[in-house]
Structure 1
Amino acid sequence: MKRMVLEIGMGTDIRGTDYTKAAVRALRDALWHNALTITNALGVDVDSMRVEVRIGVPKPEQVDHAAVLAILPHGTGTVTVVEGGLEIPNESGTGSTVMAHAAAIVRLDIPEQAA
C-alpha cells in the first residue's frame, strides 16, 4: 500500500462540547475539499482505498470511532484519536467550544505498471 494523499481539516462543536461532532466535522472538512481522481488515473477501484484517519481532540476517549468512519465515502478505514485540538470554556464555565483536527492518509495498492 502506497501513501498517495494526505488531506487535513478542522472541525468544531461551538456550544455542545461534543468531541465526536467536532471530529466528524474535521474529517468532513478534510475530505470535502478534494475530488480524488487518482484511482481513475491508476485504473484501480475507488473502494480499494485504505484511509488512515487521525483525529486530535482534548479528550480522545470521548470520540466515537464508528461515527467518524461512517462518513468515509469510499474504501475502508481506521481511526486513531490522540490528544490535541483545543477546548475553550465559555465565560460561565457551563460549556466549551471544542476544536478537532483531522488527517486522512489515503493509501492504494497500485498495479506494477502504474508504479
Structure 2
Amino acid sequence: MQRFIIEMGMGNDQYGMDYTKAAARAIEDAIRHSAIPMFETLGISHDQMQVRVTIGVQDPDAIDCAALVATLPRGHATVTATIGGLNVTNPNTGNTLVIATAAVEAFLPSQA
C-alpha cells in the first residue's frame, strides 16, 4: 500500500470532557477541506482505499474508536488513540477543555 494523502486536524470539547467528541471534531477538521478527484479521474474505487486515523488525547482509553470509524465516509478505516493532545483547566471554574489532534492517512494499492 502507498500513502497518497495525510491530513491533520484539531478538535475540542469545551464543557463535557468528551474525548470522543473532541476526536470526531479533529477528524472532521482534517478531512473537511479535502477533495480527491483522482478516484473519479482514474476510475479507482473508494473500496480500495485504507484509511488510518491516529488520534492524540490525554486519555486515549476514553476514546470510542469504533464510533469514530463509523464517521469516516469512505474506505476501510481504522482508528487508533494515543497519548497526545492537551487538557487545559480553567483556574476559575475547574472546567477542563479537551483538545484532540488527528492525523488522517489514506492508502491505495500501488498504481505503478
TM-score under structure 2 length normalisation? 0.92
Assess if the C-alpha contact under 8 Å between 1:42 and 1:110 holds in 2: no
Paired position in structure 2 for 1:92: 93
Q: C-alpha separation between the residues in 1 aligned to 2:13 and 2:46? A: 31
Letter in 1 for 2:87: E
Alpha carbons 1:17, 1:98 under 8 Å: kept: yes
Instruction: Report the 3-state secondary structure (helix = DSSP H, G, I; strand = E; otherwise coil) of the residue aligned with 2:72.
Output: coil
Distance 2:40 2:107 in 1: 14
Gaps of 5+ in 1: none
Structure 1 segments of 4+ aligned residues over 4 angstroms from their partners: none
Tell me how far apart the structure 2 counterparts of residues 40 and 2 of structure 1 sit (CA, whole Å): 18
Map Cα deviations across residues 40-60 of structure 1 (whole Å, 9 max, x no partner): 233210232100000000100
- 2:79 alignment partner, SS class: strand
CA contact (8 A) 1:13 1:99 kept: yes
- RMSD (Å) for aligned C-alpha atoms: 1.2
- C-alpha separation in 1, matches of 2:27 and 2:108: 19
Alignment of 1:1-115 (within 5 A): 1-90=1-90, 91-93=92-94, 95-111=95-111, 115=112
Structure 1 length as normaliser, TM-score?
A: 0.90
Percent of aligned positions with the same letter in both sequences? 46
Partners of 2:41 and 2:81 lie apart in 1 by 32
Separation of aligned partners in 2, 1:53 and 1:2: 15
